[in-house]
Amino acid sequence: MELLVYSASWCRDCREAKRFLAKHDIPYTEIDIETIPGAADEVIAQTGKRAIPQFVLNGKWIQPYKPGLGFLHEEMAELFGVAA
């Protein structure tokens, strides 16, 4: 399994996403859109918006949160096969 996490240090939902992954020992590679050249452009190219966090799981782009609702714990737990 290859998991990329597009995020930024100022993003509350990104911090929650990384806490979730750490809690469940899910390995990932973080891509900070503020420090890695072209990363923000890649998010826009793939999703049509500058919305983070974004997971890229085995090449598939997944938005692990909903605006106003925050991180989708139940849906991500099901996706990764872990307890919420």
Average pLDDT over residues 55-80: 96
**How much of the chain exceeds pLDDT 90, in percent?**
94
pLDDT at residue 1, as a whole number: 87
pLDDT at residue 8, as a whole number: 97
pLDDT digits (tens, 9 = 90+) for 33-62: 999 999 999 999 999 998 999 999 999 999
The token duo for 72 is: 């989708």
- CATH number attached to the domain at 3-80: 3.40.30.10
65-66 and 60-62 strand pairing:
unpaired
pTM attached to this predicted model: 0.94
Question: What is the DSSP annotation of the chain?
Answer: --EEEEE-TT-HHHHHHHHHHHHTT---EEEETTTSTTHHHHHHHHHSS----EEEETTEEE--EETTTEE-HHHHHHHHT---
Is the pLDDT higher at 84 or at 2?
A: 2
